[in-house]
Structure formats: structure tokens, C-alpha cells
Amino acid sequence: MNFTDIKLSGKTRREHDLLGEMEIPAEYYFGVQTMRAVENFHISRVRLCFFPELIRALADVKQGAAMANLELGLLDPAIADAIVRACEELRAGKLREQFVVDMVQGGAGTSTNMNANEVIANRALELLGHEKGEYQYCHPNNHVNLSQSTNDAYPTAVKIALVRSIEKLVGALRELIAAFHAKGGEFAHVIKMGRTQLQDAVPMTLGQEFEAYAANLAEETERLEVNLKLFYEINMGATAIGTGINADPDYAEVCTRCLRGITGLPLVKASNMIEATNDTGAFIMNSSALKRLAVKLSKICNDLRLLSSGPRCGLNEINLPPRQPGSSIMPGKVNPVIPEVVNQVAFRVIGNDLTVTIASEAGQLELNVMEPIIVHCLFESIEMLVNAMNTLREKCIVGITANEEVCRRMVYNSIGLVTALNPYLGYETSTMLAKEALETGKGIYDLVLEHKLMSEEELHKVLRPENMVHPRRKIEE
């Protein structure tokens, strides 16, 4: 639901900020600073509400801050309780449509932080029995944002949300890996020709090819999980630049402990809060891991498109599930649309990684004001990768079938079989056979017998495709 779909009664409340006063529709839980941001930032048209995990994490942070301020005697118990209850509602998914700020914004995330502060303050006011906008009883800055700055609350919420989002990504990746493993077992008996540089190489099984895809992706689960731990270090209590101005000396430790309890994550206070406030290294590393996964997915999808090419004039070793007609002019054409869309997602993720890199480099002095575009890119990349992997698994991988006879025929017709003769005939003789086979169109098997280089029995043992898909000792003559 978009905030523009909220039914309005026509009633308003008057709010003010540094720049003046503004009429706010009575139904809006956000206030004047959020409205300024809505007016200013028509950029990506992707709003905070598109990413529920970010809203949930913002609520986590504001609840943790309220609990810490209460424990330290800085916040009235009734106000703290109302803030906590409002945050719990947000964490349960309520009022999501009230998070309306564009993900791409100026101000280093201030608009996002204030959107959360205002929604929580106005819901807390209702819980206290007051009207929205009666901020003398619960103020977005004085109470909800107490002991905080955008510069610690925003990146902390982002890190918490990214941890959960990447955990979801890893789950989708593991399911895709399992699908490749299943196909590896299903195709374990299918002999085919391996290729290097798009040229015939040596025999293998189709099962080995799919198991290799599974192993290739399995490496990425470890990489993602290792980089994920970088997000556990947070800077709550750093306030504006890391010096902790306007925060109680004990606030950082208490707030971090409260957040550990709320999120269940092993969060720790940064050892150097000034460094933690301006550093974006964790974002760079995780973006790089997303790019690496995207590159591998794209490579695999390129392979699937090649292996299924044809059906009459290509490799035609596998069949991808037909998903839709492939042409408005060519009857009967069916395209590999699922691998194609995954390729395009990969290109976007690779581009997002470049944006994260440049934005991280562009931060000056004690704060990186480019964090909103970094955050937008990371969440978009994760969301697109999750959807792409689920689509690839459900609509492509599980339905792939093998053209066994095509695969076997290619093996027997391939000059690549000559590689197996190296240990017996030597490289020079094997090269001569390969050249003659190319020039005459004859098979390697027939040429060896024609030149009386090996007996038919010896040749059958050596060139049996099933004997060439694993390491083995030289067959004695």
C-alpha cells in the first residue's frame, strides 16, 4: 500500500520545523520533516515501505534506544512504554505504508530517520491518549530520537536489516544449490563432451557438469556468511560524529545490550566510534560478495543457454522448460527466458556494486553522506538476487531434461577422444590423428585401427567414454 492510497478526510494538523509551518493530513502518522523529504526527493520512486526489513530494523533501533534511555533514567517510563509499544507494532508489520521517503535522498539518511521518529512519536501519542502532533507529550526528536543521531541510528538499522536480508538470500541460494545437486544425481549416467574455449575437450558426464555448478555456488554461501559478520559491529551512542555528544557515558553499552536482546544478533559496540561513523567498509565487502554471486549465476545461465541452444542447429544437449512463446514473427520459437532474466539481474547487481564502491570513496571527513545510495543498491541487489534465484530454481533448473542420445553421439564423433590416447601413442602421433580426422571427417576410433596403432580390444578399453570421466591408471597392454 502506498501512502497516496490512504483515504483522507480532509482534516489536517499544523506542524512546524526550521523552515516554517505545514498542514499535515490528519491520517498521516509522519510529520512535517517527512513531508519535506517527500516533496524534495522524487528520485528512484522506491520508498522505504518497499523493504519491510528496513522498517523492522528502524523499529528495533528506536525500541532499543528507548529501553536504554529508560534504564539510565533519561526517559519518563510512560513515554518509554508508549515508544516501545509503537515500535513493537511496527516490527509486527503495522503502519508500513507510513514509511514514504524515497530510498535515494540527500542528508545522509536524516529523512529516513525522521520518518521513523515521526511515525513512532505519533503512534505513541495515540497510545498515551493524545492526538497526533501533540508533541509536547512525546516528541520525535526529544523523546524518540533521544541520545541518538541519524549518523548512528540509520547505519545501525541498515546493518540489522541487511543481516536478515542476506540470511534470506543465503536460504534461497542453498535451495538453488540443492536443485543443482539433484540434477547432478539425475544426470550422473549421461556421457557428454566437455569443452574448453568453446572447442571439444574431453568426455565428462552431464551430472558432473551440474555438480560443478552446485559446488561453484556453494562457495558463495561461505563468503556471504563470513562478510555478514562485519555488520555485527554498530556505533549506537556515537551520535553526530562518534564523540558521543548528548549521550550518557553508559548509553552506548546499554543500548547495544538492549539491541542484542531485541534482535537476537551478536551485536557489539565499535571499538573506535569515530571510525565506525565514517567507515563503509562492511558495505563494500558485502556488495562485493553480492557481485561475486551475480557473476557466477550469470556464467551458469550462459552455460544453460549454450547447452540448450538449437534445438536443431545448436548443442541441444539439454532441454529447458518452455515458459512462453519466443517470437512475435517466428512460429514455434521458444527462448531461454529464465536464464536471460537472471543474466540481466546479474548485470544490475554488478552495476550496483560499482555505485557502492564510488559512493563509499566519496565520503568526506567524519561522515559518508552517500550512504542512502549505498543502502538502496544493497537492498535492491539482495531483493533481485533472491527473486532471480527462486525463479531460476522453480521455473528452470527443476524441469531440465537431458538429450542423452545427442550427448553420447557428440562424444563418439568428437576428436577430443584423442586426448585419451596420449599415454599410449604419444602427443605427436595423437596430434597427427586429430589432424587427419579433421581433414577426412573420419572418427578417431577408425583411424587408429586403420593405421594399426592399437588392437580393437585395446582401443575399446581406452576410448570407452565411461573410462574417461575420472582419474585412472594407464591400462596395461
Same domain, residue pair 172 and 129: no
The secondary structure of 80-110 as a DSSP string is HHHHHHHHHHHHTTTTGGG---BSS-SSTTH
Same domain, residue pair 139 and 277: no
For residue 477, is pLDDT > 60? no
Residues identified as active-site:
327
Q: Measure the CA–CA gap between 59 and 53, rounded to whole angstroms.
A: 10
Same domain, residue pair 440 and 362: no
Q: Does residue 433 form part of some domain? A: yes
Same domain, residue pair 101 and 206: no
pLDDT recorded at residue 288: 97
Cis upstream peptide for 155 (omega within 30°): no
Per-residue model confidence as pLDDT tens digits over 362-381: 999 999 999 999 999 999 99
148 vs 330: which has the higher pLDDT: 148
Q: Does residue 68 form part of some domain? A: yes
Per-residue model confidence as pLDDT tens digits over 284-303: 999 999 999 999 999 999 99
For residue 108, is pLDDT > 70? yes
Per-residue model confidence as pLDDT tens digits over 60-104: 999 999 999 999 999 999 999 999 999 999 999 999 999 999 999
Where residue 35 sits, what CATH number does that domain have? 1.10.275.10
Q: Give percent above pLDDT 70 in the chain.
A: 97
Domain extent, residue 50, equals: 3-7+17-146
Q: Measure the CA–CA gap between 191 and 377, rounded to whole angstroms.
A: 43
Band of pLDDT at residue 442, cut at 50, 70 and 90: confident
Where residue 433 sits, what CATH number does that domain have? 1.10.40
Q: What is the DSSP letter of 464?
A: -
Same domain, residue pair 398 and 420: no
